Amino acid sequence: MKKFISILLVLCLSGCTVLDFVAEDTQNQTLNTYNYDYKETNTNTENQTQTKEGFTVKNSDNKNNKNQTKKGFELVDNSKKELQSLYLFYYEQLTPLQKTVYEDLYAFMKKPTSIYELKKPVKLEDLSPALYAFMYDFPESYWMWNYRYRIGDNGKVTELEFIVPEDLETKRAQVDAIADNVVAAVANESDYNKLKYFYEWIINWTEYQENECDQDYTGVFLLKKSICAGYARAFQYLCKKAGLKCTTVRGQTNESHAWNLVELNGQYYWVDVTWGDPTTDDGSQKLVYYYFMVTDELLFRTHISLNGQVPVGPYDKIDAFTFPQCTDNSLSYYVQNGAYFETYDYYAIRDYVLQKLYENPYQEISFQIGNQESFYYAVEQLLKNERYITNIFREYFSGGYYYNAISKDDAGVITVKIVS
């Protein structure tokens, strides 16, 4: 129980913050968004190099920027066709006008410069959902979260300004080299096994730690350190490269949090890679499958809500996106491994534990009980009052032994292990 509590404390106190692309308080955030009306901005016409929060920005006169815009941001003919071949969860929920903005952003992302002149001025109520949808559909657009916009005399947004990192192409290439190798390792596996491999790879590769890139996928791939947003976007990016349907979502646990929604064989499932990587009493990180391919019923025992709102300006928000129900339990890790019991059945659990002991008596043995009331009864019977788990161990061990036991209450999982 002590270990269980300590794991929960790490998850609750580690400061997993998900940043909106409109930041209301920019003092303590790694990536900030600046919303200005350029009509009040004094444009410097001299070429300068300024460094801001780790990015180098080259300012040129407004005329030259606009000329670059017309050359660099024209929508290539095949952009819309390319988008049609991708899984774009948020794009599909946009209006036709918002989709047009999104499609232009896709072309811009491939040939970015600091100033993007919209082909057609749009209201903030249309720009914000399009930007949000694009940035969440494309983890590689992480650098676009830092932007500001110009509002014209008609009250519509006419231009966006981005800070384009000088090492953008280098980082893209480095990330792709790693991601391609990961995907290639399971090229011939089933879609389910690919998802499981990506989940395990990120957890084994990454240390949960805040850093300057913890809101994007480069923290995972290049620094091997990240928090929830980075975990989720790295998982999404690997899925994207493998042709799997996955997106990143925002929501609330005891704090702002990010995780993934996966669509497979016409069903939807939740995956929380971050919560598959808890820290134990001794400070080590441990791979668990509590929230891998799970349902609404299990996830929302701990994940309080989803956030489909989009900021419009510095203060207002609108409801823009909805999420499907996740009701299928067949791809849960415990169901797939024969370790799931809907209710407490001593003899069925006994048979499962003995089977695992005969495979390897010193392995960690985990099983899940779906019904919460039955789970709490099982904990009392197996681990606390009666300690029936010792009866099972005695059927295998003729001599003395020591064991550890952990119950993960909100996931309904019991884990036991013989230590000597």
- Is residue 294 within 8 Å of 355, Cβ to Cβ? no
Q: At what angle do helices 228-241 and 168-184 cross, to 10 degrees?
A: 60
In sequence order, the 6+-apart residues with CB closer than 8 A to the CB of 350 are 391, 392, 395
pLDDT score, position 297: 97
Residue that has been written with the tokens 């300004």 in this structure:
161
**pLDDT exceeds cutoff 80 at 35:** no
Task: Sketch the domain layout of the chain as residue ranges.
Answer: 10-162, 168-280, 337-418
pLDDT in tens, 217-235: 999 999 999 999 999 999 9
- Is residue 17 within 8 Å of 255, Cβ to Cβ? yes
pLDDT score, position 56: 29
pLDDT score, position 214: 66
| Structure confidence at residue 215 as a pLDDT band (50, 70, 90) | confident
Name the residue among 30, 186, 184, 50 with its Cα closest to residue 114: 50
- Is residue 54 within 8 Å of 333, Cβ to Cβ? no
**pLDDT exceeds cutoff 50 at 10:** no
| Structure confidence at residue 7 as a pLDDT band (50, 70, 90) | very low
**pLDDT exceeds cutoff 90 at 153:** no
**Domain 168-280 is of which CATH architecture?**
Roll (3.10)
**286 forms bridges with which residues in the sheet?**
none
Instruction: Report d(CA 286, CA 103) in Å as an integer.
Output: 41
Q: How large is the average pLDDT for residues 119-147? A: 94
Distance set, CA 353 to CA 349, 380, 390 (Å): 6, 17, 11
pLDDT score, position 416: 97
**pLDDT exceeds cutoff 50 at 20:** no
**Two tokens, residue 240:** 């994207």
The better pLDDT of the pair 131, 9 is held by 131
| Structure confidence at residue 82 as a pLDDT band (50, 70, 90) | confident
* % of the chain with per-residue pLDDT over 70: 80
**C-alpha neighbours within 13 Å on the C-beta side of residue 357:** 19
| Cα of 395 vs its chain's centroid, Å | 43
Q: Which of 137-146, 293-302, 332-341 has the lowest mean pLDDT?
A: 137-146
- Is residue 206 within 8 Å of 253, Cβ to Cβ? no
Instruction: Report d(CA 37, CA 297) in Å as an integer.
Output: 45
> What single-letter DSSP state applies at residue 212?
T
- Sheet of 157-162: strand order equals 115-122, 157-162, 147-151
